[in-house]
């Protein structure tokens, strides 16, 4: 499958790879330069492959609140709520954003690789009268991220972007090129920025307008490669790595998005039992103290004993350190603790560090 911006990627000399069935740009100029450009200026991302599921009708809000682990019951229109979505056993179906569009009118934004699974999951659980639609091919999504994101986007719309607080959005923005658009102050990079949802076929209009408006500010198209390194520095979970059917949100350090006191939801019982037992592996950050690059799947050791596994790792382009997220048992999570990572035939010393690795100033 191709996003509506495929031709733009090709004309920017992107290297195209398959990602969850989508032909996506992994990089344009290079992952490191794109990463740095996003941290220092503004990065432009095509994330149209992300899935969108609309849920509406009487009881839609209560239905979603019984599906996801976070509490959306108090979220008014204009709020975007991050939440894991769990199975009965507490394993994670996906992590997603719930956009509250209006009364009993919601938009779920889900990981591209999970769109079909999530849609089926939501539909299977939906009560009569609640309508669920896979709207993924109606919405294109363009993210603009970095300290100059606001300045770039402000050139293209009269709405007061700075008044949109983090995890808030404005819908039906008609003056944005390619609109009407939904402008959300969200992102997956650890930077300030926006994500703009707009009609699928209109994406090139906004893309080109952003490149032109952002040229004097150094806007740079950014591929999935740097999207991954940016989110890793910011210690944001990636489904399939830090979250999966076998990894609960509590393990991934997302307990603040699991609201046991909101009433019943799928997975509540299992997650509560896990929380009360305290007996589970949990996510930590590691910084390598010697040369090497940690990768997903590498063993984490305490002394000579394997205690856990790296879920994501790599050379952090902005921090210029080799970093890793890893799952280890309780008792090994204290920042400063000395562990090691097995890299081929060596055990490379690493230190537990507080997350996130990178926090914008």
- Closest approach of another protein to the CB of residue 149, in Å: 23
Check residue 91 and report its DSSP letter.
-
Picking from 171, 221, 220, the residue whose alpha carbon sits closest to that of residue 198 is 171
Q: Are strands 15-19 and 22-27 parallel, antiparallel or unpaired?
A: antiparallel
Give the CA radius of gyration of the chain.
Answer: 20
Nearer to another protein, 31 or 258 (CB): 31
Nearer to another protein, 113 or 293 (CB): 293
Q: Report the SS3 class of residue 204.
A: helix
Task: In whole angstroms, give the CA distance from residue 152 to residue 244.
Answer: 36
Report yes or no: 69 and 87 within 8 Å, Cβ to Cβ.
no
Nearer to another protein, 31 or 283 (CB): 31
Task: In whole angstroms, give the CA distance from residue 209 to residue 121.
Answer: 37
Q: Report the SS3 class of residue 1.
A: coil
- Closest approach of another protein to the CB of residue 33, in Å: 8
Cα atoms in the 13 Å half-sphere on the side-chain side of 146: 27
**Cα separations (Å) of 115 from 92, 99, 136?**
14, 16, 8
- Closest approach of another protein to the CB of residue 345, in Å: 10
Report yes or no: 76 and 97 within 8 Å, Cβ to Cβ.
no
Report yes or no: 6 and 13 within 8 Å, Cβ to Cβ.
no
Nearer to another protein, 27 or 157 (CB): 27
Q: Read off φ and ψ for residue 139, nearest 5 degrees.
A: -105, 120
- Closest approach of another protein to the CB of residue 223, in Å: 10
Nearer to another protein, 122 or 323 (CB): 323
Nearer to another protein, 93 or 322 (CB): 322
Task: In whole angstroms, give the CA distance from residue 289 to residue 243.
Answer: 26
- Closest approach of another protein to the CB of residue 30, in Å: 5
- Closest approach of another protein to the CB of residue 358, in Å: 15
**H/E run at residue 63:** helix 60-67
Nearer to another protein, 118 or 228 (CB): 228
Nearer to another protein, 30 or 180 (CB): 30
- Closest approach of another protein to the CB of residue 320, in Å: 9
- Closest approach of another protein to the CB of residue 241, in Å: 14
**Residues of this chain that bind another protein (CB under 8 A):** 15, 26-27, 30-32, 225, 229, 291-293, 295, 314-315, 317, 322, 344
């Amino acid at each position: 499958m191709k996003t509506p911006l495929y031709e733009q990627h090709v004309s920017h000399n992107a290297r195209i790879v398959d990602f969850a069935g989508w032909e996506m740009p992994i990089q344009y100029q290079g992952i490191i330069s794109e990463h740095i450009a996003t941290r220092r200026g503004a990065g432009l991302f095509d994330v149209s492959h992300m899935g969108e599921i609309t849920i509406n009708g009487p009881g839609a809000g209560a239905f979603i609140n019984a599906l996801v682990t976070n509490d959306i019951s108090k979220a008014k229109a204009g709020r975007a709520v991050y939440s894991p979505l769990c199975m009965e056993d507490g394993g994670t179906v996906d992590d997603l954003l719930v956009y509250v569009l209006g009364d009993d009118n919601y938009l779920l934004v889900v990981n591209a690789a999970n769109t079909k699974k999530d849609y089926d999951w939501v539909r299977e659980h939906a009560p009569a009268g609640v309508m669920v639609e896979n709207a993924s091919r109606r919405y294109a999504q363009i993210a603009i991220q970095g300290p100059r994101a606001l300045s770039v986007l402000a050139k293209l719309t009269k709405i007061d972007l700075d008044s949109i607080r983090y995890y808030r959005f404005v819908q039906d923005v008609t003056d944005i090129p390619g609109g009407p658009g939904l402008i959300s102050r969200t992102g997956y990079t650890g930077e300030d920025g926006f994500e703009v949802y707009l009609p699928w076929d209109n994406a090139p209009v906004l893309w080109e307008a952003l490149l032109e408006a952002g040229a004097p500010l150094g806007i740079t198209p950014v591929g999935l490669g740097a999207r991954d390194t940016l989110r890793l520095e910011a210690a944001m979970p990636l489904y399939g790595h830090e979250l999966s059917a076998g990894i609960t949100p509590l393990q991934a350090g997302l307990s603040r998005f699991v609201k046991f006191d909101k009433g019943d939801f799928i997975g509540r019982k299992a997650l509560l039992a896990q929380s009360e037992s305290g007996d589970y592996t949990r996510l930590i950050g590691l910084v390598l103290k010697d040369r090497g690059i940690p990768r997903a799947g590498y063993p984490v050791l305490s002394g000579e004993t394997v205690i856990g596994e790296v879920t994501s790792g790599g050379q952090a382009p902005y921090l210029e350190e080799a970093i890793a997220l890893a799952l280890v048992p309780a008792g090994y999570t204290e920042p400063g603790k000395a562990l090691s990572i097995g890299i081929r035939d060596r055990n490379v010393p690493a230190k537990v560090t507080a997350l996130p690795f990178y926090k914008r100033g």
